Amino acid sequence: MRQYFRELKNNLADNYYQFRIDTDQNPYQIRFRKKPFRILFILSHMRSGSSLLTHLLNSNPEIIGYGETHINYASELDFKTLIFKVYRTMKDYQMNHKYVLDKVLHNHKFLADDFLVSDQVYSLFLIREPQRTLASILEIKPHLNEEKALTYYQERLEILESYAKLINNKKRSFFITYEQLINQSDLVLNSLKFFLETQDSFSEQYETLKTTGMRGIGDSSENIKAGHIIRNRKQSDIKISSELVEKATYSFRQCFTTLSTHCSTIETLGEF
């Protein structure tokens, strides 16, 4: 009987979300809402600190999201799926947030990318230096070898560059590094408030979610459950060959330059 009522409740909730979301052809608009949603993407790579950034963002009352939704985006119409999936997961019935958040860490998730130039789509680019990134990737993906980890990292940075060039709009794209997020947290968080035009400020403290630590959604380590930024992180025992680090560093620097040119940054945010 308990299972029956649980399923009934879930079906009623699904019908409610579908009723509000699917009745308007505008991919950013839903029933009973005056302003359209803005879509907020974290465009990054594995082991970049994207789960931390997700939690910091989601703790702002104007943003809702929980991590990777694994949606394959072919057009703006897929934002309806995003809105449904996020609200269904978060169990929020007001649906009055300014931004609906997704983070995308893999190249195959965008079957098309022209929707990135929409005025309603905002993108946060986040990258991390290669040595610690590659070691961390190998820790969570032990079936990969160094070469495959490097290939993923280089190909992902190359795609991130192409997204930044496509958007080419500093009002809707913002670039930070993991090192800035950890070591210049106040500046980054203040910049996010300015960039996203939120009423509330961002804080180093965040609320954990029922999805926090779940594999396939984000970071599954204990650190993400702390509810605040942790700066003293453990060192990896995995050593990456100097040759691979050199190749990855070249890709990182190239991506850093491209993103700094086409996106706003903590240094240039007030200039656009």
Q: What is the pLDDT of residue 5?
A: 64
Q: What is the mean pLDDT of residues 87-95?
A: 96
pTM of the predicted model as reported, rounded to 2 decimal places: 0.96
The string of pLDDT tens digits covering residues 234-268 is: 777 888 999 999 999 999 999 999 999 999 999 99
pLDDT, tens digit, 9 for 90 and up, residues 138-165: 999 999 999 999 999 999 999 999 999 9
The CATH number given to 2-271 is 3.40.50
Which residues are CB-contacts of 153 (< 8 A; sequence separation ≥ 6)? 45, 130, 133, 134, 137, 248, 251
| C-alpha dist (Å) from residue 21 to 28, 69, 100, 182 | 9, 17, 13, 37
Residues 208-243: tens digit of each pLDDT: 999 999 988 999 888 999 999 998 877 778 889 999
Q: How far is CA 118 from CA 104, 144, 205, in A?
A: 17, 36, 31
Q: Mean pLDDT across the stretch 109-114?
A: 97
pLDDT attached to residue 221: 87
| pLDDT (0 to 100) of residue 238 | 87
pLDDT tens for residues 9-45? Answer: 889 999 999 999 997 789 999 999 999 999 999 999 9
* Confidence (pLDDT) at 4: 66
Above 60 in pLDDT, residue 54? yes
- Reported as type and span, the H/E element at residue 177 is strand 173-177
Please classify residue 133 by burial: count the beta carbons closer than 10 Å to its beta carbon, then call 0-12 exposed, 13-18 middle and 19+ buried: buried
Q: Measured between alpha carbons, how far is 177 from 197 in angstroms, rounded to an integer?
A: 21
Helix and strand totals (H; E) in the chain: 8, 5
57 and 207 in contact (C-beta within 8 Å)? no
List, in sequence order, every beta strand (DSSP E) within 44-159. 63-64, 99-104, 121-127
Backbone angles phi and psi of 101, in degrees to 5:
-105, 140
pLDDT at 24: 72
C-alpha 205/C-alpha 228 separation (Å) is: 4
Residue 19 φ/ψ, nearest 5 degrees: -60, -45
- Is 117 a residue whose pLDDT tops 90? yes
Mean pLDDT of 192-215: 95
Question: Are 143 and 137 in contact, with CB atoms under 8 Å apart?
Answer: no
Residue 271 has pLDDT above 80, yes or no: no
Structure tokens at 262: 């086409």
CA–CA gap between residue 40 and residue 174 (Å, rounded): 11
In 10 A of CB 69, how many CB atoms?
20
Which pLDDT band holds residue 101 (cuts at 50, 70, 90)?
very high
- 148/151 Cα distance (integer angstroms): 5
The predicted pLDDT at position 272 comes to 56
What are the residue ranges spanned by the domains of the chain? 2-271
**CA angle at residue 94 from 91 to 96, to 5 degrees?**
115
For residue 270, what pLDDT band results from cuts at 50, 70 and 90? low
Helix (H) or strand (E) holding 183: helix 178-183
What's the rounded mean pLDDT across residues 159-172?
98
